[in-house]
Structures are given as C-alpha cells and as structure tokens.
C-alpha cells in the first residue's frame, strides 16, 4: 500500500502541491497574532500555589514588578551635591510621568518620609521634595538621610555613592514600550551628568528581554537559512536539492508557528531556539530522501525518474517515519515531563513541527520532484558531477569503516571506558539558573544589576507575609516581638543584606515621639499604644504610604528581605532556612508567616526542573524504545537504537559538569531532544545494516563497509545540517540560549561519532539476531492511509464600539448670575459667610482604599474661632485601640505665621507638637490635606489668582471659579497646580472642588453634600473626596451639628489634651 500511495502522489503532483501551499498560507496567516511573553511569571503554571499566593499578596499590598533607576555619584563623591540631588528630583518626575508606571507607587528620596523628633516635636516629611538651591540645603538633606537607617542600603547606599528611584509597572504586557520610553527619557535627562545612571529592575529585565528576543531573531533566522542552503548546496549540488528541503523548512516554521499563534500560545524567551531547532530538524528527512533518490537513479534499473522516486520513497518510508516519531517522542518527553508553560510549549510545538516536516517530506517533496522531472530521463536527472564529490567523501567514510571493522572490540572497550568517564563527570551537574544571565555580561541591564548589587543591599526581593489571624492583630506586642526576631534571623542568612518592615517604622515613630532619644528605638508593650504609634505616622502621611507594608485591616504585614541571591543555587539555602524557621520557631495559632516574592517564585519553578528533568528523559526513552521496538519487531533492536544515544547524553552532561553549566530552563531540555534526534542516526544505520546483512545472510565487515558508503553519507550531511543550523544560536545575545546551542551541537556530534563507531562495532561484535532472517516488508511496516483532510476554521470576531458623549451645561444661567461679579468678589462672598464662633459635631470617617475596602472611625469634632486664630480639635472614639487619641490644630489668621498641630496618644501618655506638617500634607491617613480641612467651605484668597470659567464638569446652576497658584512655591506647598470651585450663588456655599496636581494631572475632587441650615447657619452634612492618584476615597459624615453649644477654650489648649476623653 505504501508503494501505491507514492504512485498516486507522483501521478497527481499538482493536487499535493496545491494542498501543501494552501495549508502553508492558511496556517501561516495566523502569524501576525503571535505575541511575546517575557515575564518571569510565564515560567509558572497559572494554578501553581506559589503563584496564586503571590497574586493574592500583590492584590493585598498592591505590589507590581518595578523599574529601578539607579543614580551613581560622580567618581570620588557621594550623592549629596547640588547636581546629583537635582537630577534625583528631575528623574523622579520623569518616572512618575512615564506611561504605564503608577505615579503613586514611585519611591525616591523626594517621596519617602523621614521620621525625626527633638524636644517636644515630631517631624515626618520627605528628605526633600524639590531640587535644593544652596549648599546649606544639601548639608541638611545629607544629615537627615544619614540619621534615618531605614533608607540605608534600601534607598541610598550605605556609603552614599548611589540612590534608587523605584516605579511600579501597571501593565506587564507593555513592559517593552515602557522600558524604551523610560530609558530614552532617563538618558536624555542625564546626558550631561558626570556620574552613571542605570535602568534596571524586574520590569526593565522583562522589557529588555522582549527587545533582546527580536534582535536575536533578526540575526539567527537569516543565519540558519544561510547555513542550511550552504550544506544542501554541497550535499546535492542542484537547485532542486537546495530549494525543496528549504521549502519544507519554511512550511514547517509557518504552519507550526501559525497554529501556535491561533491557539493563543505566546512567544517565550526560548522560542527563538525552537524555530532554529525546527529548521535544522526539517532538512534531516529531506537529506535522507533525496540521497536515497540519487542512489536509486545512480543504481540503474529504472525506466523513468518517477519509478526511481517511488522506489526511494517506498524504501525510506519506514526509517523516516521511525526517526520522526522518535524525535517527536523526545519532544513529548519535554511536553509531558515539565510543568513550566514555556518548556511545555517548546515540547508540544517542536513535536508538531517534526510531524509537519515529515508530512511535507513524504508528500509535498516527492510531488514537486515528480513534476520537475516528468519529462526528463534518468540520465538527465542524475548529476554526473556528483561522482567526484562521492569519491572524496567515500574515501573518508571507507577509512573510518576500516578502523571499525579491524578493531571492533577495541572500539567497544574505548567507548565504554569513555562512557565511564562521562558518568563520573556528570555527577558534577547541578540545577542552577539566573534570569539575569539571559543577558550578556556587557549589556546595560546586566551592568546595572551588578552595579546596584555592589552598592546596595541587593536588587532581589523576598518577602514574608505575616498574618495575625484577626483585624488589628498585627499590633499585638507578642506578634511584633516575633517579627523582630524573624528579621534578626533573616540577617544571619547568606546574601541577605537588609530586612525591613512596619516594625522598623513604628520604632522610629516611638523614638521621634520621645524627642529623638535613641534608647526609645523600640516598641511599647501595649497593643493599643502600638496602634497609636501607627496612627501617629499615618496622621501626616499620604493615605497610600503604607499600602505595601501593612494591609487595610491591620492583620497582615510584609517583612521585606533584600538579597543579592540571583540564582537557584544561591537562593535555595535562604529559602530552606526561612521555611524551617517559620515552621519550627515562628508560626503559632495566633500568627503565621509564609514566603512570597520574586525570589521565592523563581525558586519554585526552578525546583520543578530538578524534580521533572529525569521524568522528561524517562518519557523520551520509553517512547523511543516502544516505537523502535514496534517497527523493528524486536526489543533488542530497540535497545540498540538507543545504545549510542546514551554516550551522547552523558557526554553532554560531562561537558556541563566540567564547565560548570547549570541545569536550567534551556539546558534541561537537551537530553530529551538528544534522544529524539539521536535515534535518527541509529535507525538509519541499523536499517541499512539489517538490509545488507539479510541479503548476505550474515553480519560481516563488508556489510559495515557498504553501510558506511550509503547511509554514512546521508548521516554526514545530516550532521552538518543540524550542527550548522544550531550554530546560528551560538551568536545569540542570550548566553543561556548559546549554551543550549553549544550543548546540542556536542550532542549531535557525539551521536554521529557513536553511530559511526560504537554502534557498528557493537553490531559487528554481538551480531544480534534481529539483523538477519527477519525480512520486513516496508509496505506493511507502517500504513499510510492517505493525507488527512478536513476543515480547520478560525473565526475571529472582533468588535470595538467606542461611544463618546460630551455633555455641557448651559452657561447662560451662570452668565446671568455673574454679570456684575468678578471672580475675586465671588471668592469674597464665599469667605464672608457666617460660620459661627463655636461648632461641635460628631464625625463618621469612612476611608475606602483602591480595593474598595472600608475602614470606619468615629470622632467628636470641636471648633472655636477667636480674634487671631481658629482652633480645631478631633477626639477619636472608635475603634477602641485609638480611643481618646486627639489631634489639635491652631490655624492663625496672620499671613506668614506657621500653623501648629499637636497629637496626643493616650496609651503613651504623650502629647507632641507636629511641627513639620505643611498645608499640602494629608490628614490622619485620609484624602484631605490640612489645607482642605482648614478651608472647609472657604477658598484661600491669598494663594490663588482667580478667573471665572465655564466648565462642562461643573455642578448644575453653579458659578465656576478657577484658581491658579500665585507662585511655584505656593503650588508646591499646597500640592495643587490649579483648582476649580463650583459655588452655589443662592447661598454662596461651595458645591465642588476639582484639584489638578502640580504637573497638571487630575488629582482629586471634593463634593460638599447635604447642604443645610443649622442654627441659622448654612453648613455641610457630608464631604466626599475622591483621590484619582491613589484611587482612594474618603467620606466625612457630620451629625449632631451645633453652632450654639459653647466650646470651652480650655479644651482647646494643648496642655489639656490628656483630659479630652474624660
């Protein structure tokens, strides 16, 4: 039936050619859908518990992979100079402005708070916000940073030679575009800076790797094509001998990658290697088939080239099918034996590619040959010039055959001795991989990584999530002490250079509240007191300041380890030690710790290599043995097919062991691939020896010699096609890919050598029975029932409907109301409203974070207006752990006089003045700034220049006043670059505030709701604020409002704050 099938193919070539072209175009049309995934998470199964938990941690603490901009001081200097500090401020702005970087999650010296205390004051402010202008300012910045140890090794090098700006990426899919944009902006801004500036971090690595892959592809693919053409030209010295195998390569690549794209499987970092591997493998069958066709033409006995072609295809069907199936078996071993998506995809699509190459080799190629040679004679097709080439190669192969024939036992002994040496060297192989090694040592991203690791505590993140099992439980003293002990233990581990958590922050707050007394760098023994320390910090911080340290319910915190361990081998002892400590020492019924972070994830998926590598190899071996055994109908034959492959596999292991190459993502695949490809050599060799031995009735030296002259030639060119194809990867920018290519070349060369020495020597010495007296009918070995037909439909329904509706309010009413009033007059009317001298009210504070989680605080509010100042007091009632905590402010009417704030913490029995609070700082962890609350219902007339505007976002029937800060200094102090205020002209109450940040981006909006009259005075029942930057919301609900209840002036004295709750 095999012969009949090839008769039909060669008699109907255009039908086969048409189907082949249509299939290539149809599946190849999916290639534009292919997309890259260079993220480290790509190596982890979506259902992996470690990944699921990491995602949960990310959701809780808002963590995303960061870009890191590292600024090195000029040689011989520290960062504490005008030029460097100015650059830090400028680059922080650039990072914040870069699309796809969360500008609320940018960390630098200009954004992070320093806690300091002296006398009766506590000061919580950034190291600096804007570029210093004098040397005195520089000295003050240096003093403050050096006095705050939380920054050391984390944000600033301990020797002051480097600082970092860290910005978290929003969408990982856009890492390449973000990296390019950020790198270009940083390069432009630092062009004249005498020091060095680097862009690094996990997000940068992913973005850089994406571009790296594209560069590799542009170099490797043309090179592999050139090598394949070169070897085919030497082998066959004809146009058809070059173009036909090359057409098989193109069809294999187009169909395989097209199906991959249609299935939505991304292009991973190792996929470049897959395409080159497929290209090299695709020509193997073609070489054997065309060589056999040439042999049939040269042997004579055929009337037409078509007859010779059918004879060659019939004879080659079994060995080509067997070698293809065993090669697929090797890749199936990778697919089934790995749990990493990139490796699974590599195995799956490599196997698919081999099947496609086989199908095109046994259908498309003979169809094209039949059509090309339809009107030619055998002599015309036979290349006469081939004799000289055949004679030269024949002499080389004959000489090798003579050595094997005359010294078979010695060849076997030598090969077994060599195998023993390789086995010993293989014991040196260890699982190891470092993602940064994807880049050459001189690449910018790797240079940056090295520089940061040298100067800082490490660029790699490992975290312990501590769960106190109940809301507010993290503030329990015992839990805090456990965390402190955990941090001390972590610092004893190798390559762990720094550890921080909210514990360190609270200890600094306690020290600050104690006037900077270094002996108070500790936590109190009362849980409520610890909670009040947290409130003290939160009272002056941005609402999002602590999101990546502690969860919303105060039940979980992150202990952050900074390590220089960048590989599986170096991170393993850290993780094992931490897991043991958590299990045996830390965890209890009340508190548990669990590892997370990038280092832990990398450890998990690399650990799977150690567990699954042997499984992949075993699957490949078993499948190869089964296929070979079934085809040759002999278990002994199956073992001989793998006999020489063992030499090749352990030789590569030996090379890895001696050179210290770790078993990683790419290198772990070589063994299964070697088994699949190696069987190709043995099957063709054994099949030729079997045919010759059966014809002559014995296995002798002549059988070996003749097999070398026929099959040896095809194997020789197969060797060079594979090796030259793989060598295209040797020039890869990615060292791990070039190592992979080098190992494959060693494996293929070892396979060829063993198949031409150890294998024939073993056959000659052992003379297994399966070689003779068992004639196999090729037409019955494997049935070819025809080419599968059917329809593969890909229906892409893409619909995108964007409806943009612009609603604008009728401005006529506003115009009518303001025809006689200027903007300044409207502001004056708002500010002249009667607000009473006394105010008491209950306040319900509802704080909602970006995850829509809600926290409620209850407080009593008091206000007293005197001739020279307005005093305001908030005394908390709930939750219980901050009960009786009080915050008192003095807002002086005199221009230029600095307002004052005091914080009272009842559990610590301390009242401290908060002197550093500027008007633009946030109040008690809410989305209100001190200025927002101070001006409640009013507009600062001295800070802005006002104009009347029409705004489509304005409240109905309102007047809109726009305010531009009078100076850059005022804008920076308030945090606003522009405000728009909607005013109700019927009562001059403010309805809405819209604030833009200093850089012109929408910042937040305040809505004044439930406007009512109480005691004859217009007032507000609710204030809603939405912060667009942090995606937080705050709502103040006022009740029991009274303007007639007297407020005792003594109550509003900071000396009496301890009596507020009595």
Percentage, residues of the chain above pLDDT 90: 29
Going across the sheet that includes 592-596, the strands are: 496-500, 556-563, 460-467, 592-596
- Domain assignment present for 472: no
The pLDDT tens digits of the residues spanning 692-723 come to 888 888 888 888 888 877 777 778 877 887 88
E strand or H helix at 863? strand 854-865
809 — pLDDT class (breaks 50, 70, 90) = very low
Cβ proximity of 452 and 459 under 8 Å = yes
The CATH number given to whatever domain includes residue 268 is 1.20.1640.10
Cα(573)–Cα(563) distance, rounded to whole angstroms? 12
Cα(699)–Cα(695) distance, rounded to whole angstroms? 10
The pLDDT tens digits of the residues spanning 403-450 come to 888 888 888 888 888 889 988 988 888 888 888 887 888 888 889 889
Q: What's the distance, CA 921 to chain centroid? A: 34
Does residue 82 share a domain with residue 130? yes
The pLDDT tens digits of the residues spanning 986-1038 come to 999 999 999 888 777 888 999 999 999 999 999 999 999 998 888 889 999 99
Domain hosting 161: range is 65-221+434-458
Does residue 1055 share a domain with residue 934? yes
DSSP bridge pairs for 126: 113
Task: Tell me which DSSP letter residue 552 carries.
Answer: T
- Domain assignment present for 95: yes
Cβ proximity of 942 and 561 under 8 Å = no
Arithmetic mean of pLDDT, 650-679? 83
Does residue 773 share a domain with residue 636? yes
Query: By three-state DSSP, how is residue 977 classified?
Result: coil
Q: How many CB atoms lie within 10 A of CB 655?
A: 19
Please return the burial class of 35, using the count of CB atoms within 10 Å of its CB with bins 0-12, 13-18 and 19+. Answer: exposed
Identify the weakest region by mean pLDDT among 22-26, 387-391, 776-780: 776-780
Does residue 774 share a domain with residue 862? no
Model pLDDT, residue 432: 85
Task: Tell me which DSSP letter residue 1011 carries.
Answer: E
Cβ proximity of 901 and 917 under 8 Å = yes
Model pLDDT, residue 293: 81
Cβ proximity of 138 and 146 under 8 Å = no
Arithmetic mean of pLDDT, 509-523? 87
- Domain assignment present for 314: yes
Model pLDDT, residue 394: 66
| pLDDT surpassing 90 at residue 163 | yes
Arithmetic mean of pLDDT, 752-779? 74
Query: By three-state DSSP, how is residue 36 classified?
Result: strand
The pLDDT tens digits of the residues spanning 440-492 come to 888 888 898 899 999 999 888 899 999 999 988 999 999 999 999 999 999 99
Query: By three-state DSSP, how is residue 828 classified?
Result: helix
Verify cis geometry, omega within 30 degrees of 0, for the bond prior to 55.
Answer: no
Does residue 1001 share a domain with residue 934? yes
Cβ proximity of 175 and 213 under 8 Å = no
Q: What is the pTM of this model?
A: 0.75
Does residue 714 share a domain with residue 684? yes
Does residue 267 share a domain with residue 182? no
- The last residue of a domain, from among 734, 758, 781: 781
Verify cis geometry, omega within 30 degrees of 0, for the bond prior to 502.
Answer: no
The CATH number given to whatever domain includes residue 944 is 2.50.20.10
Q: How many CB atoms lie within 10 A of CB 285?
A: 28
Does residue 865 share a domain with residue 906? yes
Q: How many CB atoms lie within 10 A of CB 61?
A: 20
Q: How many domains does the chain have?
A: 3
| pLDDT surpassing 60 at residue 196 | yes
Cα(430)–Cα(447) distance, rounded to whole angstroms? 26
- The last residue of a domain, from among 442, 458, 474: 458
| pLDDT surpassing 70 at residue 782 | no
- Domain assignment present for 1008: yes
- Domain assignment present for 439: yes
Does residue 265 share a domain with residue 216? no
- Domain assignment present for 311: yes
Cα(113)–Cα(91) distance, rounded to whole angstroms? 18
* Pick from 337, 244, 240: nearest CA to 283: 244
Q: How far is CA 271 from CA 162, 207, 221, 982, in A?
A: 37, 16, 12, 58
Cα(1051)–Cα(1045) distance, rounded to whole angstroms? 13
- Domain assignment present for 806: no
Helical spans, DSSP H, in 163-201: 175-189
Does residue 339 share a domain with residue 217? no
Token pair 């081999």 in the structure block, residue: 354
Does residue 107 share a domain with residue 27? no
Q: How many CB atoms lie within 10 A of CB 630?
A: 14
Cα(517)–Cα(223) distance, rounded to whole angstroms? 68
Identify the weakest region by mean pLDDT among 59-63, 383-387, 681-685, 913-917: 383-387
Does residue 289 share a domain with residue 172? no
Residue 431 corresponds to which tokens in the numbers above? Answer: 């699982």
Model pLDDT, residue 540: 62
Query: By three-state DSSP, how is residue 663 classified?
Result: strand
- The last residue of a domain, from among 781, 803, 830: 781
- Domain assignment present for 857: yes
Cα(5)–Cα(362) distance, rounded to whole angstroms? 10
Count the alpha carbons within 13 Å of 138 in the hemisphere toward its beta carbon. Answer: 13
DSSP bridge pairs for 911: 904
Cα(306)–Cα(13) distance, rounded to whole angstroms? 11
């Amino acid at each position: 039936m095999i012969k009949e099938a090839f008769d039909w193919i060669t008699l109907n070539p255009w039908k086969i050619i048409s189907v082949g072209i249509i299939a290539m175009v149809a599946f190849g049309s999916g290639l534009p859908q292919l997309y890259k995934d260079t993220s480290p998470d790509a190596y982890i199964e979506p259902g992996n518990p470690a990944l699921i938990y990491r995602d949960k941690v990310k959701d809780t603490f808002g963590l995303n992979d960061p870009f890191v901009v590292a600024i090195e001081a000029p040689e011989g200097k520290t960062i504490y100079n005008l030029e460097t500090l100015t650059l830090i401020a400028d680059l922080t702005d650039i990072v914040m402005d870069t699309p796809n970087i969360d500008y609320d999650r940018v960390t630098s010296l200009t954004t992070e708070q320093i806690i300091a205390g002296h006398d009766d004051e506590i000061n919580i402010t950034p190291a600096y916000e804007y570029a210093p202008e004098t040397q005195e300012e520089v000295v003050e910045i240096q003093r403050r940073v050096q006095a705050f140890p939380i920054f050391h090794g984390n944000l600033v090098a301990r020797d002051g030679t480097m600082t970092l700006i860290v910005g978290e990426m929003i969408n990982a899919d856009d890492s390449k575009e973000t990296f390019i944009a950020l790198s270009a902006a940083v390069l432009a801004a630092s062009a004249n800076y005498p020091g060095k500036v680097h862009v690094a971090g996990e997000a940068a690595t992913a973005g850089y790797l994406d571009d790296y892959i594209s560069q590799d592809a542009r170099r490797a693919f043309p090179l592999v094509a050139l090598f394949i053409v070169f070897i085919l030209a030497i082998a066959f010295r004809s146009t058809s001998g070059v173009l036909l195998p090359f057409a098989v390569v193109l069809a294999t690549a187009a169909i395989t990658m097209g199906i991959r794209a249609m299935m939505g499987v991304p292009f991973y970092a190792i996929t470049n290697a897959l395409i080159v591997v497929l290209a090299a493998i695709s020509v193997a069958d073609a070489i054997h088939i065309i060589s056999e066709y040439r042999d049939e033409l040269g042997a004579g006995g055929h009337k037409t080239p078509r007859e010779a072609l059918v004879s060659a295809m019939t004879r080659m069907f079994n060995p080509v099918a067997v070698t293809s199936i065993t090669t697929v078996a090797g890749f199936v071993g990778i697919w089934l034996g790995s749990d990493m998506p990139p490796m699974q995809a590599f195995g799956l699509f490599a196997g698919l590619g081999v099947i496609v190459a086989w199908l095109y080799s046994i259908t498309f190629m003979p169809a094209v040959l039949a059509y090309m040679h339809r009107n030619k004679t055998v002599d015309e097709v036979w290349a006469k010039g081939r004799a000289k080439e055949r004679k030269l190669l024949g002499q080389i192969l004959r000489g090798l055959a003579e050595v094997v024939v005359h010294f078979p036992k010695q060849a076997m002994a030598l090969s077994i001795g060599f195998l023993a040496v390789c086995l010993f060297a293989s014991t040196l192989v260890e699982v190891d991989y470092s993602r940064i090694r994807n880049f050459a040592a001189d690449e910018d991203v790797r240079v940056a990584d090295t520089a940061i690791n040298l100067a800082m505590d490490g660029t790699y993140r490992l975290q312990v999530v501590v769960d106190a099992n109940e809301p507010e439980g993290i503030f329990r003293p015992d839990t805090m002490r456990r965390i402190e002990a955990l941090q001390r233990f972590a610092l004893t581990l190798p390559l762990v250079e720094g550890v921080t958590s909210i514990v360190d922050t609270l200890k600094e707050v306690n020290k600050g509240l104690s006037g900077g007394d270094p002996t108070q760098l500790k936590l109190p023994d009362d849980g409520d007191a610890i909670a009040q320390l947290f409130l003290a910090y939160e009272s002056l911080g941005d609402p999002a300041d602590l999101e990546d340290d502690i969860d919303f319910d105060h039940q979980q915190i992150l202990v952050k380890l900074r390590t220089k361990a960048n590989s599986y081998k170096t991170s393993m002892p850290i993780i094992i030690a931490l897991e043991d400590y958590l299990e045996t020492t830390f965890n209890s019924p009340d508190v548990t710790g669990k590892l997370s972070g990038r280092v832990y994830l990398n450890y998990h998926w690399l650990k799977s290599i150690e567990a699954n590598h042997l499984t992949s190899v075993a699957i490949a071996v078993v499948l190869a043995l089964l296929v070979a055994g079934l085809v040759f109908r002999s278990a002994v034959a199956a073992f001989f097919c793998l006999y020489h492959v063992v030499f090749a596999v352990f030789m590569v292991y030996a090379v890895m062991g001696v050179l210290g190459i770790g078993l990683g993502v790419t290198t772990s695949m070589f063994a299964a691939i070697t088994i699949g490809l190696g069987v190709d050599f043995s099957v063709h060799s054994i099949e030729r020896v079997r045919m010759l031995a059966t014809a002559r009735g014995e296995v002798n030296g002549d059988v070996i010699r003749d097999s070398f002259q026929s099959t040896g030639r095809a194997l020789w060119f197969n060797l060079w096609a594979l090796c030259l194809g793989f060598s295209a990867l040797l020039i890869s920018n990615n060292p791990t890919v070039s190592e992979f290519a080098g190992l494959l070349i060693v494996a293929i060369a070892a396979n060829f050598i063993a198949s031409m020495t150890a294998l024939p020597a073993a056959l000659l010495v052992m003379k297994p029975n399966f070689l003779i007296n068992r004639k196999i009918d090729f037409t019955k070995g494997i049935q070819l029932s025809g080419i599968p037909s059917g329809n593969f439909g890909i229906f892409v329904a893409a619909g995108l409907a964007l409806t943009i509706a612009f609603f604008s309010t009728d401005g006529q009413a506003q115009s009518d109301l303001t025809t006689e009033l200027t903007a300044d007059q409207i502001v004056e009317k708002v500010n002249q409203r009667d607000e009473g001298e006394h105010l008491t009210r209950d306040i319900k504070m509802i704080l909602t974070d970006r995850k829509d989680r809600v926290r409620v605080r209850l407080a009593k509010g008091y206000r007293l207006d005197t001739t020279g100042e307005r005093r305001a007091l908030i005394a908390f009632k709930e939750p219980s752990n901050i009960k009786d905590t009080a915050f008192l402010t003095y807002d002086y009417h005199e221009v230029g006089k600095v307002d004052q704030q005091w914080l009272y913490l009842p559990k610590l029995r301390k009242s401290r003045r908060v002197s550093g609070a500027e008007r633009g700082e946030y109040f008690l962890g809410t989305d209100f700034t001190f200025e927002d609350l101070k001006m409640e219902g009013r507009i600062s007339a001295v800070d802005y220049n006002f104009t009347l505007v029409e705004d489509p976002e304005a409240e109905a029937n309102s007047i809109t006043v726009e305010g531009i800060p009078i100076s850059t200094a005022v804008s920076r102090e308030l945090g606003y670059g522009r405000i728009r205020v909607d005013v109700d002209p019927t009562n001059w109450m403010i309805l809405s505030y819209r604030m833009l940040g200093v850089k012109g981006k929408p910042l937040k909006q305040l809505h004044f709701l439930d406007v009512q009259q109480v005691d004859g005075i217009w007032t507000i029942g609710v204030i809603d604020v939405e912060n667009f930057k942090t995606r937080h919301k705050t709502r103040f609900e006022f009740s029991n409002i009274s303007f007639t209840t007297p407020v005792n002036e003594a109550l509003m004295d900071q000396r009496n704050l301890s009596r507020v709750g009595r």
